[in-house]
Amino acid sequence: MTYFNRRRFMTGMGALVGALLTAGIMSAPSMAADFPTAKVNTTKLAVTDKTVKVGILHSATGTMAISETGSIQAEKLAIAQINAMGGVLGRKIEVIQEDGASDWPTFAEKSKKLLVNDKVATVFGCWTSASRKAALPVFEKENGLLFYPTFYEGLEQSKNVFYTGQEATQQILAGLDWIAKEKKAKTFYLIGSDYIWPRTSMKIARKHIEQHLGGKVVGEEYIALGDTQFGSVINKIKLKKPDVIYAAVVGGSNVAWFKQLNAAGLNSSKQTMLTISVTEDEVLGIGGENLAGFYSAMKYFQSQKNPSNEKFVAEFKKMWGPKSVIGDVTQAAYLGPWLWKAAVERAGSFDVDKVAAALPGYEFKDAPEGYVKVDANHHLWSKLRIGKWRTDGQADVVFESELIAPDPFPKGYQ
Amino acid sequence: MTVTMSKILGGREGAIGLAVLALLILVILPLSLDLFRLGLVGKYTTYAFVAVSLVLLWGNGGILSLGQGIFFGLGGYLMAMFLKLEASDPISTKIQTTPGIPDFMDWNQLTALPWFWEPFNSLPFTILAILTIPALFAFIIGFAMFKRRVGGVYFAIITQAIALILSILIVGQQGYTGGVNGITDLKTMLGWDIRNDGAKYMLYYVNALLLIGSILLSRYILSSKFGMLLLAMRDKEERVRFSGYDVSNFKIFIFCVSALISAVGGAMFTLQVGFMSPSFVGIVPSIEMVIFAAVGGRMSLIGAVYGTLLVNFGKTMFSETYPELWLFLMGSLFIAVVMFFPNGLAGVWDKYAKRVGFIRRIMEGKGKADNTSADSNTQGAKA
C-alpha cells in the first residue's frame, strides 16, 4: 500500500515537474481544456474555464488578528505559488477574503456568505475553536469545505473539514514522554487559560502523567482569558516546586505570564517548563529574553533544516517582509491550499464531496515541516518536535518524534 | 377606544412612520433581498429589540444601562438551552462518554444533566422563562439600586460590571454553559428544522412582527400617564419625587420592561442564527447596542430600528469590501454621527426631511384636527 502510494506520489511529482517545465510552452487554458468546467464543477461552484474562487476567513481585526494574520499570509503565499505554477486544473485561484473580526457569530455569517453567495470551492480559515464551532454547522449544512490550521483539542471530525494542525494527543503525549525521560520529571504543574482547548489538553496530560508515566500532578490551574495576574499561581508553584510546569496559556496572558515568572526568579535555569501554546508568533510579544531555555512542543519550528522549509521561509519573508516570523499554525495554514490542490487534482473535480473523498491517503512529502499524510479521519499524520527557545526568538529543535497518527477521539483519555 | 389606538400609533405621523417601517421589513426587504441577506436583516432586527428597549430606558427614562447585553444574552441562552437539549438526543450523541447530554458537558467530564437544565426539555417552560427570568433579574438589580437612589453614571457602571461578571461566569463555568464557545450546533425546535429556507422566512416574519409588537407596547407605555412621568423623571427627578411619586418603582418597572424586550430579541437571535455565545453578553456588545440606539436617535423608537439596521449593514458592507480597514470606517461613522447629528437619524429626519414640502403635507395631514389631537406629548415620545 505504501509502495503503491509512493509510486503514485512519484508519478504525481513527475507530472508536476513536467507541468512546470512546459508551463512556458503550454498555455494554461489548454490544460483547463482537458477538464471542461461542466465536468469538474457539477455543484454550481464559482469555477469558470479560467478561474476558481476560494475563500479566506480569518480575523484581520480584533484581538485575534495578531495570531491569525500569519495564517492569512501563509495561505496567500501558497495560493500565489500555486497560481505561478499554472493554478489548479488549469484555473487560476481567485481569493475572496472575509474578516471574522475575532467575533464568532461573524465567522458563521461570513462562512455563509462565502458558501451561499460567493459559491467558493473551498475556504481556508478559522483559528480559535470557538470560531470553528460557530462556522461548522454552516459548512455542514451548505456542504462547504474548510481547511482549519490550528492545533486544537480534538473531539471533532467532520466530513466538511480538514484539520491541518495537530489534535491534542499528537501534541501532548510524545512531548510528555520526552520531558519525563530527559529531565527525569516526576511532578508536574498544569496551567492553562480557561477554555475548551487547555482544559481538554490538561485532561489528556493528567491521564498520561498519572497512568503511563507514573508521575504526579501537583497542581492544576486555569486563568481567565486575557487575565494578566499570575502572582498567586506563581507563589503556589514556588511552594510545590514541580519538576515541570506544563503550560497552555494563550493570547495576551502569555506576555504577563512569562514576565512575571522571570520577575519571580523562575527562569529556565531554575525551572523546567514545557508549553504547548507558544510559537514564534507569540515570542514576538513575549520577548525571547523572557523565554530563553524553556521548551515548546509543536510540530513545526521556523528553524527546521530541510530544503523545502528553507525555501518556504525565504519566500515568506520575500512576500511579507524580512522581519516576519513563521509559527506552527502559519505553516499548517500554508499546507491548506497545497492539500486542496492535490485533492482536486486527484479527484479531477472541484465538487466538495469528490475532493473530500480524494484527500485521505494523500502524502505530502516535502511540506516545510517534513512528511505528512492525510488520515481517513481528516487529520494529518505528523511528527512532534520539541524546541528550546533562544534569546533571538527562534528555537533549537532538540527532539523529533516518530510519525504520530491522529486520534481525535482518544480512548482512555476522555 | 379610537383615542387609545391613535395614542399607541403615535398620531398620524407615528402611524405613517410605523407603516413605512412595517412595509420595509415585511414586504420590501423580503422581496428585494436574497435569503442570505434577509437572514442578516433578521439577525440585525433582533438587536433592534435592544435598541428599542434603550429608547424606553435611556431616551425617555434617562437611565443609561450599559448592560443590556445581560438580558439579550439571558434570553438567548434560555432559548439555546432548550434547542441544545433537543439536538442532544442519545442517538445523535452516541459517540460521547455519556450519550444524551449536550456535547460540551461531555467534554467537561459531566456525566449527568445538571438539575437546572432539566426544565428546559419543555418548550412552554422555556418560553415562560424567557419572559420572566431576565425581567426578574432586572427587578433584582433595579430594586437593589433604585431603592438606594443609585442613578446616572453609577448605574451605568454597575450594569456594565454585571455584564462583565455574567460573561466571565459563563466562560468560566463551561461545563454548564458551553464556555467561550457558547452553545452551538442547534438544529430543530420540536422537530421543526430551524435551518432550512422555509424556517428562515418563518422566523424572519415572527421576529419582525414581534419587533413591531414591541414598538407598539413601548408606544403604549410612553403615551400613558406613566410615559409622561418617565419624561418628567428624566428631566427633573427631584420634582417628581416631591410631588409624591415613588420614583424608584417607576424606574424598576421600566427597567424590567426593557429587560423583557431585550430578552425576546435574544431568544429570536438564537433561533435565527442557530447558536448563542458569551460574546453577546459582555461589555462590548452592550455598548454597541447603545451605539445603535444613539445612531438611530435615542428618543425615537422607530429611529432605533433604522439605526440598528444602518450600523450593522455598514459593518457587513465595509468589512466585506475592506477587510483590513473597515473598523476605521465604522469609527469615523460613529464620530461623524455624534458630532454632526447628536439626535441621530431621527434628528436628521426632524430637522431636514420634514422641511420638504410634500413630506410635511403627508405627515401633518390636510385636516388640522388630526394634528391637535395627537400632539399632547413632547417631541420625542411619539416619533
The phi, psi pair for B187, rounded to 5°, reads -120, -55
pLDDT at position A20: 46
Q: Calculate the alpha carbon distances from B318 to A37, A101, B313, B323 in Å.
A: 33, 12, 8, 7
Q: Are residues A275 and A149 in the same domain?
A: no
Q: Rounded to an integer, what distance in angstroms lies between the CA atom of residue B199 and that of residue B197?
A: 5
pLDDT at position B197: 86
Question: How high is the mean pLDDT of chain B?
Answer: 87
Q: Are residues A239 and A324 in the same domain?
A: no
Decide if A414 is inside a domain. Answer: no
Q: What is the CATH number of the domain that holds A198?
A: 3.40.50.2300
CB A385 within 8 A of CB A301: yes
Counted domains in chain A: 2
The three cell numbers of residue B302 are 422607530
pLDDT at position A376: 96
**Shortest Cα distance, chain A CAs vs residue B247, angstroms:** 39
Q: Rounded to an integer, what distance in angstroms lies between the CA atom of residue B21 and that of residue B297?
A: 15
Decide if A104 is inside a domain. Answer: yes
B46 pLDDT more than 90: yes
The phi, psi pair for B55, rounded to 5°, reads -65, -40
Report helix angle A196-211 to A168-182, nearest 10: 40
Decide if A93 is inside a domain. Answer: yes
Decide if A318 is inside a domain. Answer: yes
Q: Are residues A240 and A369 in the same domain?
A: no
Verify whether the Cβ–Cβ distance A61 to B168 is below 8 Å: no
Q: Are residues A362 and A320 in the same domain?
A: yes
The three cell numbers of residue A351 are 465538487
With beta carbons under 8 A apart, name residues in chain B contacting A133: 181-182, 184-185, 275
Q: What is the pLDDT of residues A172-200, one digit of tens each?
A: 999 999 999 999 999 999 999 888 889 88
A21 pLDDT more than 70: no
Verify whether the Cβ–Cβ distance B174 to A196 is below 8 Å: yes
Sign of the torsion angle spanned by Cα atoms A222, A157, A74, A63: negative
Beta bridge partners of A374: A380
Q: Are residues A230 and A351 in the same domain?
A: no
Q: Are residues A244 and A265 in the same domain?
A: yes
Question: How high is the mean pLDDT of chain A?
Answer: 89
Q: What is the mean pLDDT of residues B286-306?
A: 90
Q: What is the DSSP string of B225-262?
A: HHHHHHHHHHH-HHHHHHTT--HHHHHHHHHHHHHHHH
A18 pLDDT more than 60: no
pLDDT at position B319: 79
Q: Nearest CA to B74 among B280, B347, B263, B339?
A: B263
**Shortest Cα distance, chain B CAs vs residue A43, angstroms:** 19
Q: What is the pLDDT of residues A108-140, one digit of tens each?
A: 989 999 999 999 999 999 998 889 998 999 999
With beta carbons under 8 A apart, name residues in chain B contacting A225: 171, 180
Eight-state DSSP code of residue B172? H
Q: Which residue's C-alpha cell is 486520534? A: A407
pLDDT confidence tier of residue B166, bands split at 50, 70 and 90: very high
**Shortest Cα distance, chain B CAs vs residue A142, angstroms:** 10
Q: Are residues A243 and A289 in the same domain?
A: yes
With beta carbons under 8 A apart, name residues in chain A contacting B43: 105, 109
Give the residue numbers spanning the domain of A81.
2-166+304-378
Verify whether the Cβ–Cβ distance A133 to B323 is below 8 Å: no
pLDDT confidence tier of residue B374, bands split at 50, 70 and 90: very low
Q: What is the mean pLDDT of residues A26-52?
A: 81
A197–B contact, CB cutoff 8 A: no
ipTM: 0.73
CB B277 within 8 A of CB A195: no
B372 pLDDT more than 50: no
Verify whether the Cβ–Cβ distance B104 to A196 is below 8 Å: yes
CB A151 within 8 A of CB A328: yes
With beta carbons under 8 A apart, name residues in chain A contacting B174: 194-196, 199
Verify whether the Cβ–Cβ distance A137 to B274 is below 8 Å: yes
Q: Are residues A161 and A18 in the same domain?
A: yes
With beta carbons under 8 A apart, name residues in chain A contacting B180: 130, 195-196, 225
Q: What is the pLDDT of residues B207-245, one digit of tens each?
A: 999 999 999 999 999 999 999 999 999 999 999 999 999
What are the start-end ranges of the E strands in A138-180?
146-148, 161-163
Q: Indicate the pTM of the whole model.
A: 0.81
Q: Are residues A103 and A43 in the same domain?
A: yes
The widest CA-to-CA distance across chain B, in whole angstroms, is 73
Q: Are residues A35 and A113 in the same domain?
A: yes
A101–B contact, CB cutoff 8 A: yes
Q: What is the mean pLDDT of residues B237-256?
A: 93
A7 pLDDT more than 60: no
Smallest CA–CA distance from A131 into chain B, residue: B181
Q: Are residues A55 and A121 in the same domain?
A: yes
pLDDT at position A261: 93
Find all residues with CB under 8 Å of B118, minimum gap 6, and list them. Answer: none
Find all residues with CB under 8 Å of A348, minimum gap 6, and list them. Answer: A35, A40, A89, A354
With beta carbons under 8 A apart, name residues in chain B contacting A161: none
Q: Are residues A151 and A209 in the same domain?
A: no
Least CB–CB distance from B195: residue in A117, A141, A200: A141
B272 pLDDT more than 80: yes
**Which residue blocks in A34-150 are alpha helix, DSSP H?**
37-40, 65-84, 104-112, 129-141
Q: What is the pLDDT of residues A340-399, one digit of tens each?
A: 999 999 999 999 999 999 999 999 999 999 999 999 999 999 999 999 999 999 999 999
Decide if A216 is inside a domain. Answer: yes
pLDDT confidence tier of residue A335, bands split at 50, 70 and 90: very high
pLDDT confidence tier of residue A414, bands split at 50, 70 and 90: low
Q: Which helix (H) or strand (E) holds B25?
A: none
Q: What is the pLDDT of residues B52-70, one digit of tens each?
A: 999 999 999 999 999 999 9
